[in-house]
Structure formats: structure tokens, C-alpha cells
């Protein structure tokens, strides 16, 4: 596994500045019960990085100090952190909306038998990875047996009210391409997912997020092995759309790693491109700094991988940035 990948000299990405911060995205650790090919974190069962108690205690303090509306929990499998439920409950007590980026199979891991019920009780939004509605494609990308477990998990979440009209329990799915291609138009793909999952498995969900794969960590290594790394970066740049710049997730989100350090996004975190300091070029901004620092108006650190968020219909933690079907 490489920490630094050979990027092309794709100069000219526009300078960006932050808007008002509203979302704290926290990576609780890189441990995961899965080892997916497209994982930009290179998470897996043998990763041991976990956020410590001191940094965990800062999460609700920062949410309150900055009056943030959303806590976005990710990993690895964030649920594998032993204090995951405590973090969720602390945020919900503050009236903060919580998102759990869930791989679905975690619901069937030992020790997590009541996880689905907990998420429903706390009204946590579930954003679940399901890169296809066909068994062969999902198992090829995420491991043998993943599809059937994922379907069972979605049915269980549906039974608890997730994705059901009027329940208030939000279930969103995530699509990633199988290889070095851009995702298809999100609206049409969502309709296909909805039809197939309802017809074959009686599964309902709220929205589908179509995300581009980022050429970093495990997926970046895969591209290098296949001699497709530079071609994929060129594809991303050639499909750059300035229309996506205004809605990029880094405008109002800050990413926190398992040690509490801050980054403009989860991808910058994995490339160790730390959040720029307002006063000291060598400083490493930390979660505790948000107790007294406002990020609005600060510059965003950009690099070649940023073309992944701006190519085509755009890509963010909330899916496409614009409706490509109506774009000229």
C-alpha cells in the first residue's frame, strides 16, 4: 500500500474558499470488517487506528461551540469503535442530525446485533454502500457473500421504518463504479435501483448517491497495478465542470481524522493534506481549535484528485452536485 501516489501535473484547478461550516465529518478509525477494492481509506479488519477518549470528548463540545447542524460519522466501519453509540447519543441530545456511513454487513457482525434498532431509536440517517443491484458485481467489488448480507440488512432496516414514507428514518444508498470510469447520471440510475430492489427484494430507500472513485489509497494502487492511473486522472480533468464548484462538500464541511487533526475533506485526509492554518504554515489544525476558530473564508487546499469531485455531474458525500440529465 502506498501513502503517496504519483500525480500528474494537472495545474489550473480553481482556488476555493470556505463558506460557513455546518458539518463535522469524523473518521472514528480505520478498522473495518470488510476490505473493498474501491476503498479510498484502505480500511480493513487488521487496521488498529481508533480515536481516543480525549478527542471523542471534543466532538460534542465542538458541535455546540460552532452550532453545527450535522455530525457525519465514517471510518472504516465507524460502528466498530467501542464508543460509537455514546458519540451518537451525545450529538442527538444536542439536537444534531447524525449520519452513519454504514457498509450494511456490520449489522451481522458479533456484538452489533442490536445496531439497526439503535440507529432507528436515535433517528440516525443511514448512508449505505451498495455499488450495484446485482450479486456478481457487488461481490466482485466488496467480497463474496456481501450482496446477500447487504440485501438482508436493507430489508431489516426497512422493517424498522427506514426508507418508508412518513417514517422520518432516512436510508440513502451509495453507488461506486466498478473501475476507472465516471458514474452514470444519478437520476436515471436511482430509478433503476428503485425498480430492481423493489421488484426483487421489496426494498425501499430514499435516495441513491452516485460517487466517483477517488484515485488514492487502495483504489489508487489498483489503478497503478492496471497501468490506468494517469489515464483515469486525465479522464477526471477532461470532464471538469465549473458548475460543480459552488456545491463542493469542502465548502461547508471539515474532516477530522482519528487523531483529531483537521482536513478540508476525507480525501485530503487520506493524502495527509492538512487544513491550512490561518496563522502558522507549519501548524496542524486540530479539532480543539474549532472551539475558538471560525473557518469561514479560509482557503481550501486543492490538488489533482479534486477533479474527482468536479467531473461530470460532480461528486460529494451527498451524491451528484447537479442534474446531468438536464445539463446542456
Strand partners, 23: 70, 253
- Tens digit of pLDDT for each residue in 133-189? 888 777 776 667 789 999 999 999 999 999 999 999 999 999 988 788 999 999 999
* Domains present along the chain, CATH in parentheses: 16-326 (3.20.20.70)
Q: Are 106 and 112 in contact (CB under 8 A)?
A: yes
Q: Is the per-residue pLDDT at 265 higher than 60? A: yes
Q: Are 163 and 196 in contact (CB under 8 A)?
A: no
Cell numbers found for residue 40 = 479510498
Average pLDDT, the chain: 89
Give the pTM: 0.90
Query: What per-residue confidence (pLDDT) applies to 325?
Result: 57
Lowest model confidence (mean pLDDT) among 60-69, 166-175, 269-278: 269-278
Query: What per-residue confidence (pLDDT) applies to 318?
Result: 81
- Tens digit of pLDDT for each residue in 303-318? 888 999 999 999 888 8
The more confidently predicted of residues 286 and 278 is 286
Q: Are 153 and 173 in contact (CB under 8 A)?
A: no
Query: What per-residue confidence (pLDDT) applies to 38?
Result: 59
Q: Is the per-residue pLDDT at 279 higher than 70? A: no
Which of 21, 86, 4, 30 is CA-nearest to residue 257? 30
- Mean pLDDT over 83-111 rounds to 96
Query: What per-residue confidence (pLDDT) applies to 281?
Result: 67
Lowest model confidence (mean pLDDT) among 35-44, 90-99, 177-186: 35-44
- Mean pLDDT over 266-290 rounds to 86
Q: Is 28 exposed, middle or buried (0-12, 13-18, 19+ CB in 10 A)?
A: buried
Q: Is the per-residue pLDDT at 324 higher than 80? A: no
> Binning pLDDT at 50, 70 and 90, where does residue 115 land?
very high
Query: What per-residue confidence (pLDDT) applies to 74?
Result: 95
Q: How far apart are CA 255 and CA 29, in angstroms?
A: 13
Q: Do you find a cis peptide bond into 131, omega within 30 degrees of 0?
A: no
Q: How far, rounded to the nearest angstrom, does the alpha carbon of residue 275 sit from its chain's CA centroid?
A: 18
Q: How far apart are CA 62 and CA 189, in angstroms?
A: 37
Amino acid at each position: 500500500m502506498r501513502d503517496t501516489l504519483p500525480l500528474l501535473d494537472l495545474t489550473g484547478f480553481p482556488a476555493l474558499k470556505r463558506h460557513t461550516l455546518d458539518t463535522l465529518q469524523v473518521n472514528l478509525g480505520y478498522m473495518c470488517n470488510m476490505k473493498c477494492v474501491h476503498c479510498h481509506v484502505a480500511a480493513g479488519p487488521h487496521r488498529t487506528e481508533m480515536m481516543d477518549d480525549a478527542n471523542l470528548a471534543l466532538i460534542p463540545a465542538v458541535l455546540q461551540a460552532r452550532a453545527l447542524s450535522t455530525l457525519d460519522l465514517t471510518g472504516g466501519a465507524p460502528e466498530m469503535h467501542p464508543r460509537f453509540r455514546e458519540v451518537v447519543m451525545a450529538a442527538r441530545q444536542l439536537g444534531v442530525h447524525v449520519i452513519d456511513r454504514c457498509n450494511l454487513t456490520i449489522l451481522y457482525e458479533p456484538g452489533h446485533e442490536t445496531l439497526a434498532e439503535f440507529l432507528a431509536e436515535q433517528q440516525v440517517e443511514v448512508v449505505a454502500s451498495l455499488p450495484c443491484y446485482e450479486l456478481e458485481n457487488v461481490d466482485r467489488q466488496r467480497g463474496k457473500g456481501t450482496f446477500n448480507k447487504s440485501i438482508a440488512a436493507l430489508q431489516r432496516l426497512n422493517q424498522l421504518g427506514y426508507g418508508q414514507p412518513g417514517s422520518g428514518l432516512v436510508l440513502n444508498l451509495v453507488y461506486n463504479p466498478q473501475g476507472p470510469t465516471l458514474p452514470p447520471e444519478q437520476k436515471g440510475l436511482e430509478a433503476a435501483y428503485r425498480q430492481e430492489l423493489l421488484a426483487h427484494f421489496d426494498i425501499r430507500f430514499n435516495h441513491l448517491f452516485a460517487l466517483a472513485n477517488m484515485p488514492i489509497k487502495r483504489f489508487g494502487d489498483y489503478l497503478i497495478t492496471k497501468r490506468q492511473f494517469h489515464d483515469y486522472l486525465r479522464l477526471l480533468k477532461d470532464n471538469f465542470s465549473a458548475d460543480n464548484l459552488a456545491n463542493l462538500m469542502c465548502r461547508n464541511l471539515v474532516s477530522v481524522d482519528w487523531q483529531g487533526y483537521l482536513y478540508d475533506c476525507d480525501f485530503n485526509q487520506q493524502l495527509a493534506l492538512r487544513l491550512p492554518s490561518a496563522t502558522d504554515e507549519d501548524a496542524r489544525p486540530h479539532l480543539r481549535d474549532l472551539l475558538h476558530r471560525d473557518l469561514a473564508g479560509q482557503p481550501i487546499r486543492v490538488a489533482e484528485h479534486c477533479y474527482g469531485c468536479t467531473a461530470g455531474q460532480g461528486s460529494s458525500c451527498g451524491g451528484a452536485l447537479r442534474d446531468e440529465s438536464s445539463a446542456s
